Amino acid sequence: MSSLIVQGGARLTGRVRIGGSKNASVAIMPATLFGAGPTRLEDLPDINDVKVFSEILCALGARVDRQEDGSVIIDPTGLSRWDAPYELVKRLRASYYLLGVLLGRFGKAEVALPGGCDIGLRPIDQHLKGFRALGAQVSMEHGMVKLKAKELRGAEIYLDVVSVGATINIMLAATMAKGTTVIENAAKEPHIVDLANLLNAMGARVQGAGTDVVKIRGTDQLNGCTHAVIPDDIEAGTYVMMAAATHGDVRVENIIPQHLDSVLAKLREAGVIVEENGDWVRVAAPGRLKAVSVKTLPYPGFPTDLQQPFVAMMTTAEGVSIVHETIWDNRFGYANELIRMGARIKIDGRTAFIEGVPKLFGIPVCSKNDLRAGAALIIAALSADGESEVDGMEYVDRGYERIDEKMRSLGATVRRAG
């Protein structure tokens, strides 16, 4: 396990630049396999999930090359495999997007059920319902999902739950189907719009992404393109909360502030000064924060991926905050570590009750199996008295680009160990 030694107590100040969105990247990278030629991706973040997905695409026969200017070229012309066994996909939840892409591209796909963060049950029944509606036969053998279709045909698909993954996977397969597909009760996350923009730049015809009805008119030929990945709203929200928790004053740059509306509204309620302008937001928290309650919801609601940093921030606010998690059934696993640091938290099912304390104290802690839990422990460690060692950085590095360097540039005293 690798860890981060954090010296608590510093107010974070200055500017930080946010990288490309993890969850957009892991949908966009496989989508480039539809192209008849290479696609150039700008702002693809330098994070472990992107590295792992690059390895997976190469193992399937594609080429992935990072250029000197930081852009990444994915050339799918050598793509030869439609199977992705467990050894290949086990490190990446989003490898399930290969189902939609390989089904669209080859009319068949065999992909192992993936791993990823341990945050509760992660069914893919809605993805499979969508593939079946498009005409695929679906079977499950030895942990592999097998899909086969003579021909994919457009269909009307109503999602029983609002699912980011199912919306994206069905969009991907439907892009190569004959006729029109309509996804109702679709997820509306910014990365779904980003994927639609990429697909349309490749020659697809996707309408309505960002609303709960997405319409895809299928095609049989897509080309490569150049696409800049949108900024990561969750990385941005994490730095915003780092600044607030340390009573700092930070300008978080290269973002789309609108994507953080629900988060910034909650920070304002907590007494944080928030200034938005074009592609940045400045947050300053001179005094003690006020307790604020929140419920996680699909976009544009408060994101589940910022629930953990939010709880960490509220541990030292004045009053009692209630945080209700509606997306995942097991996403408070990190609370015990915060309690060991002196936080007063009670968990009842999917609800956390946080009674603010004046200070946390630094100790060794471990973030288990959820990269956002790691981010929460780092925020807690920054605001605590004394030194903490946050173990499990390999999870954090899955989704946060050079987090130690970025924190140092804001005045934090942190170093890697182990």
Shortest Å, Cβ 312 to ligand EPU: 15
Query: Cα–Cα distance between 254 and 161 in angstroms, integer?
Result: 32
Active site residue 366: no
Instruction: Give the binding range for ligand EPU (CB under 6 A) out of 125-133, 194-202, 205-213, 358-366.
Output: 125-133
Q: Using the rule CB under 6 A, which residue among 40, 105, 127, 215 binds ligand EPU?
A: 127
Cβ nearer to ligand EPU, comparing 186 with 243: 186
165 binds ligand EPU (CB under 6 A): yes
Cβ nearer to ligand EPU, comparing 232 with 337: 232
Instruction: List the interface residues with ligand EPU, window 27-56 (CB under 6 A).
Output: none
140 binds ligand EPU (CB under 6 A): no
Shortest Å, Cβ 287 to ligand EPU: 30
308 binds ligand EPU (CB under 6 A): no
Q: Using the rule CB under 6 A, which residue among 6, 18, 26, 381 binds ligand EPU?
A: 26
Cβ nearer to ligand EPU, comparing 167 with 383: 167
372 binds ligand EPU (CB under 6 A): yes
Phi, psi of 413, rounded to the nearest 5 degrees: -100, 100
Q: Report how many residues bind ligand EPU under the rule CB under 6 A.
A: 25
Phi, psi of 368, rounded to the nearest 5 degrees: -100, 115
Cβ nearer to ligand EPU, comparing 301 with 364: 301
244 binds ligand EPU (CB under 6 A): no
Query: Cα–Cα distance between 131 and 310 in angstroms, integer?
Result: 36
Q: Using the rule CB under 6 A, which residue among 1, 36, 140, 161 binds ligand EPU?
A: 161
365 binds ligand EPU (CB under 6 A): no
266 binds ligand EPU (CB under 6 A): no
95 binds ligand EPU (CB under 6 A): no
Cβ nearer to ligand EPU, comparing 88 with 164: 164
Contact at 8 Å (CB) between 170 and 131? Answer: yes
Cβ nearer to ligand EPU, comparing 159 with 341: 159
Q: Using the rule CB under 6 A, which residue among 145, 243, 281, 371 binds ligand EPU?
A: 371
Other C-beta atoms within 10 Å of 86: how many? 15
Separation in Å, CA 151 to CA 83, 132, 194, 214: 19, 12, 27, 21
227 binds ligand EPU (CB under 6 A): no
Interacting residues toward ligand EPU by CB under 6 A: 23, 26, 93-94, 117, 121-127, 161, 163-166, 187, 304-305, 327-328, 371-372, 399
Active site residues: 117
